[in-house]
Structures are given as structure tokens and as C-alpha cells.
Amino acid sequence: MKRAKRNIKSKKNKRTIFIILTKLILCTAVISTAFIISINPKAKPSSNVTFNQENAPKETSEKVAEKEADPFEGSNVINDNRGVPVLCYHSINSDSLKKNSISMPKEKFREQLKTIKDSGYITLTMAQLNDYLFKNKPIPEKSVVITFDDGYSDNYTNAFPILKEFNMKATIFVISSYLTRDSYLTSEEIKEMSDYGIDIESHTVSHVKLSTLSYKDQLKELKNSKETIENITDKPVISIAYPEGKFNKDTKKATLEAGYSMGFTIDRGYADRNDNPAQLNRICVDYTYKPNNIINVLKNLKK
């Protein structure tokens, strides 16, 4: 009987010791964890680490988007009213002997573009020019706009490859009813160039001298050509070049009513912020221009 009581007492003692040891182990674990946290206060729960990792790519993408939103990053920009030279070309042909006021051999055209590029000039799109002139947006100190009138097919076969070679932007003013004619651009060609980044803008429907038309007929020419081009490129047409540079008061009024932001003449000079948006200057250049003539136009031309 006494032996049985001793066995029971012994089992109770063992159980008590086990419970005490378990509590000691748990207390030690808690104390150790607290000590580790105290010597490393920057340590955070794993859930927070996951949150930070998820946020990191987002912050990076925002910075990338901001960088891509600045097309002039790395350039010395200005925001004064010194104006921008808008050069006017027409046909860029393959025949080195074919030279006249609106036709230039492609070798000569390439020489002129190389001069512009080597001189550090940056070509602007129509939207960038519009933002500078009328929305107070900065542009590179050395800015230039390259335009072509009429929409000859050699703008695609000869000028387009040279523009791509020098990574230059340009604008082609096309006559919307001429897109099915020989020697003029096709809808497929202007769509391809537009997708690449060349601006396709209006030169009216029929290349008529606008100043000879009534206000109603001028407005029709401007609206219909704009609509036709926009249906091909799926992009807004914001500018027009007046055929042969002919315009009057009705032309300027119709240009703005038709939804254009800018109207270009061939009056010689820079386009600047003092200009009427429907009466912007350009500089027509031809095959006689040598590199020094191009530099003079870019640096020294006044209104």
C-alpha cells in the first residue's frame, strides 16, 4: 500500500517538472524574440516586406513614364519668343539633273538634312510646334520644323528613307483628292508614314487658290480635306498649308472654324508667338541652298 502511494507521488512530481520545463522553454523563446527585435529595430513583419516589394515596380514604372513623357530630355530647352524656322520642301526626286523651284535631287536633300542634324537641331512635330506657339510649352533651343507641300509620291520613296536615316520628324501637307493620282502619295503610303511618326496634314481638297473662293466654298475645302485625311490616319489633322500661299481674311476665319489650330503661308520668316495662328510664316528652300545657306536660315533669318 505504501509502495503504491509512493508511485503515485512520483508520477505527480514528474508531471509537475514537465509543466515547469515547458513554461521555461516558452518564456525563453519569448524573451529571445524580444531581444532580437530590440537589437534590430528596422526589422518589419514579412507582410510589410511583401507590400514594399509590390510597390517598388510601380514606383519605377512611374519614373519611366515620366521620363518618356519628356521628348526633349537632355536638350537645352527655351521658352521665349525667338520663334521656329519652318522649312518648306516639295518634290524630292531621283534625277540629279531635275532641278527647279519645287524639285530637289535626293542627294541635295540629304546634304541639307545632314547639315541640320550635324548642327544640333531637333525637328518638331506639328503638335509640339502648336504647344510652343500657343500653349507656352518649352522646346529645344535649336528647333526646326520640316514640311512638304502637295504630297508627291517621291516624299515616300526618296524623302522618307532619308528622314528615317537621320531620325527626323516631318510634316507632309497632302491634297486629299490627289491620293489616287499618278505621282502622288497613296492612302497606304500616308498611313504607313503616319504610323511611323510623320505628320500628315491638309493642303485642301483640290489645291485651289483659297483666296478666289467664297467663304462657304473655302470652309468646304478645309473641312472635307481634314475629314478625309483623319479617316485614313486615325489621327487629328491640326494644320493646313494654303495652296501657293494664297489666303485672305475669310481663309483665316474658315481655318479656325474648320477645326485647325494652325494655318501656314509661304511668307518668309520664323513662326512665333506673335503670329496669327492662321497666318504662320515658313521658309521655302530649294536645290540652290548650300550648307552655309541652311545654317544662315536656321540662325539669322528675321521676319
Q: Name which of 74, 86, 90, 61 is nearest 149 in CA terms.
A: 90
pLDDT in tens, 65-102: 444 568 898 889 999 999 999 999 999 998 877 778 89
C-alpha 268/C-alpha 77 separation (Å) is: 25
- Percentage, residues of the chain above pLDDT 70: 77
- pTM for this structure? 0.77
Mean predicted confidence (pLDDT) in 217-223:
98
Secondary structure string (H, E, C) spanning 166-204: CCCCCEEEECHHHCCCCCECCHHHHHHHHHHCCEEEECC
Other residues' Cβ atoms within 10 Å of the Cβ of residue 163? 23
Q: Name which of 239, 266, 13 is nearest 130 in CA terms.
A: 239
C-alpha 185/C-alpha 246 separation (Å) is: 23
Position 213, amino acid: L
C-alpha 73/C-alpha 231 separation (Å) is: 33
Residues in the chain: 303
pLDDT in tens, 260-301: 999 999 999 999 999 999 999 999 999 999 999 999 999 877
Predicted local confidence at residue 149, as pLDDT: 98
